[in-house]
């Protein structure tokens, strides 16, 4: 690639960047109006990406034009306000703009010396998140790709701490022959915890599963005996119902026994910013580690997972690669807090998101999504359909009758394109899940989506 050595290459490069901005703005402009799932013609056109690896170079302008022409129409319109799939958040304007800025920087956030600004912004956002979520101010943490990685990172820190207590250095001696660690999860544990447990050497099955109630909350009266070699994984926000495990009760028992409590709070933990919803998420501050996503409820854009650990030594001991971090007075080095070394500066979007929203904006975003979820629940019930969960935050589960009918409605809703909702299985019942997680969703989006869902369901 040519450097910006002469005027003509320079103006070509500018042209390319302006073109990218123009295309991106056109996308942002149109995404609210367009169908949420891509049209079948757009999906079919994706085959045009497939060609033998080009033997020669291609003008970057042409590259970008192809990316836009084939790519933009084949996106799921997750930023448009009518996407209610999984728990996918949108992206607040400040996050999008900051991601453009940060892309221009192309910083490696591994070490402070590689990117002073990336390291500084991580310091700031980690502290802000502790404040926003009401977690201990002296937690240490890292920014990772997603909550799965955040869960993994926290479990690795827990593993280190508990085995160290038993006189075992897991970094040096590994998991073979190590003193056993008991892992306790609820029956409705998120699949990512099981995956993280397997990656961390605990095994998906070698866990004690505690019964859950009708909303998916772990039953604290069914906890097995805990010891100082137990990790208990609790949940703030069940991915189907939005329900919270009874953290106060569980943490009280666990603390007495010196067990390690880990919280999977991928989206639900953010309810703690709202005075109205915080009482649901009481007690989670008493845990030892937390995983959450800024790309879900805070709408910081992908990819942005956050891990926080009360005992920073355990985190650094498991993930530090050298003794350099032990230097007294040395400042936090990002890569001693995450599995990754080289990483993009995702703190830039996260900082921009939190700075632009502030506590009031974040609280409003959470409360507005919950209000939209309530409206969905009322609208669906009024139309005669069964809402399967207590709608406590932003998640609604609805059944349209038999599993076959419900599945058909989900498929037709997705194909029709007004909105997008996914399917799930809730305690043996087939359901459609409506997850309101985007800042962009308006009351009109909710009404239009409800109208489409009810129309399709009545016709199925």
Ligand X SMILES: *Cc1c(COP(=O)(O)O)cnc(C)c1O
Nearer Cβ to ligand X, position 237 or 298? 237
Nearer Cβ to ligand X, position 95 or 170? 95
Nearest to 287 by CA among 61, 133, 117, 63: 133
State the nearest-atom distance from the C-beta of 340 to ligand X, in Å: 14
User: What whole-number distance in Å separates Cα of residue 72 and Cα of residue 62?
Assistant: 15
State the nearest-atom distance from the C-beta of 218 to ligand X, in Å: 13
Nearer Cβ to ligand X, position 296 or 332? 296
Site residues (CB under 6 A) for ligand X? 87, 146-148, 190, 192, 235, 237, 239, 264, 266-267, 293, 305
State the nearest-atom distance from the C-beta of 285 to ligand X, in Å: 18
State the nearest-atom distance from the C-beta of 238 to ligand X, in Å: 7
Nearer Cβ to ligand X, position 235 or 274? 235
Nearer Cβ to ligand X, position 38 or 237? 237
Neighbours of 376 (CB within 10 A): 25
Burial 343-358, CB ≥16 within 10 A → b, else e: bbbbbbbbbbbbeebe
Nearer Cβ to ligand X, position 267 or 376? 267
User: What whole-number distance in Å separates Cα of residue 4 and Cα of residue 385?
Assistant: 62
Nearer Cβ to ligand X, position 87 or 315? 87
Nearer Cβ to ligand X, position 77 or 300? 300
Q: Are strands 386-387 and 305-309 parallel, antiparallel or unpaired?
A: unpaired
State the nearest-atom distance from the C-beta of 451 to ligand X, in Å: 28
Within 8 A by CB and 6+ apart from 334, the residues are 109, 110, 111, 112, 118, 119, 122, 142, 143, 343
* Nearest-CB residue for ligand X: 146
State the nearest-atom distance from the C-beta of 395 to ligand X, in Å: 9
Nearer Cβ to ligand X, position 126 or 457? 126
State the nearest-atom distance from the C-beta of 190 to ligand X, in Å: 4
Which SS3 state, helix, strand or coil, does residue 98 take?
A: helix
Which SS3 state, helix, strand or coil, does residue 419 take?
A: coil
Nearer Cβ to ligand X, position 87 or 314? 87
State the nearest-atom distance from the C-beta of 192 to ligand X, in Å: 4
Nearest to 300 by CA among 444, 434, 129: 129
User: What whole-number distance in Å separates Cα of residue 378 and Cα of residue 13?
Assistant: 53
Neighbours of 428 (CB within 10 A): 6
Continuous segment of H or E residues that includes residue 232? strand 230-235
State the nearest-atom distance from the C-beta of 148 to ligand X, in Å: 3
List the alpha helices (DSSP H) in 294-423. 312-319, 347-382, 403-416
State the nearest-atom distance from the C-beta of 209 to ligand X, in Å: 16
CB 166 within 8 A of CB 179: yes
User: What whole-number distance in Å separates Cα of residue 305 and Cα of residue 147?
Assistant: 5
Within 8 A by CB and 6+ apart from 152, the residues are 195, 196, 199, 200, 339
Cis peptide bond prior to 368, omega within 30° of 0: no
Quote the tokens at residue 222.
């069914």
């Amino acid at each position: 690639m040519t450097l910006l050595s002469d005027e003509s290459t320079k103006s070509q490069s500018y042209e390319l960047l302006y073109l990218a901005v123009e295309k991106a703005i056109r996308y942002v402009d149109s995404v609210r109006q367009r169908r949420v799932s891509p049209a079948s013609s757009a999906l079919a056109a994706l085959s045009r990406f497939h060609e033998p690896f080009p033997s020669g170079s291609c003008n970057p302008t042409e590259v970008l034009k192809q990316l836009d022409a084939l790519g933009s129409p084949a996106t799921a319109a997750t930023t448009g306000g009518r996407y209610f799939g999984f728990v996918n958040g949108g992206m607040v304007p400040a996050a999008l703009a900051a991601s453009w800025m940060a892309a221009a920087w192309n910083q490696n956030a591994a070490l402070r010396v590689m990117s002073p600004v990336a390291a500084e912004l991580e310091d700031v956002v980690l502290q802000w998140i502790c404040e926003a979520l009401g977690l201990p101010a002296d937690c240490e943490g890292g920014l990772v790709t997603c909550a799965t990685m955040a869960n993994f990172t926290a479990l690795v820190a827990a593993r280190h701490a508990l085995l160290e207590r038993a006189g075992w250095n897991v970094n040096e001696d590994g998991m073979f022959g190590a003193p056993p660690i008991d892992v306790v999860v609820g029956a409705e544990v998120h699949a990512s915890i099981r995956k993280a447990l397997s990656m961390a050497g605990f095994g998906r099955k070698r866990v004690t599963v505690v019964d859950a109630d009708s909303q998916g909350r772990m039953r604290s009266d069914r906890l097995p005996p805990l010891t100082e070699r137990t990790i208990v994984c609790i949940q703030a926000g069940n991915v189907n119902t939005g329900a919270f495990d009874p953290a106060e009760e569980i943490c009280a028992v666990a603390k007495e026994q010196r067990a390690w409590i880990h919280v999977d709070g991928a989206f639900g933990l953010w309810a703690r910013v709202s005075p109205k919803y915080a009482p649901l998420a009481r007690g989670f501050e008493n845990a030892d580690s937390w995983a959450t996503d800024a790309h879900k409820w805070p709408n910081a854009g992908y990819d942005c997972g956050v891990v926080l650990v009360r005992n920073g030594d355990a985190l650094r001991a498991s993930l530090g690669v050298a003794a350099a971090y032990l230097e007294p007075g040395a400042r936090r080095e990002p890569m001693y807090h995450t599995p990754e070394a080289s990483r993009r500066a995702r703190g830039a979007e996260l900082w921009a998101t939190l700075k632009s929203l502030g506590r009031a904006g974040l609280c409003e975003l959470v409360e507005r999504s919950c209000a939209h979820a309530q409206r969905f629940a009322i609208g669906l019930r009024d139309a005669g359909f069964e809402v399967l969960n207590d709608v406590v935050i932003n998640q609604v589960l609805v059944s349209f009758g038999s599993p076959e009918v419900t599945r058909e409605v989900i498929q037709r809703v997705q194909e029709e394109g007004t909105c997008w909702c996914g399917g799930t299985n809730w305690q043996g019942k087939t359901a459609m899940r409506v997850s309101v997680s985007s800042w962009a969703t308006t009351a009109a989006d909710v009404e239009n989506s409800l109208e489409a869902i009810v129309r399709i369901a009545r016709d199925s």
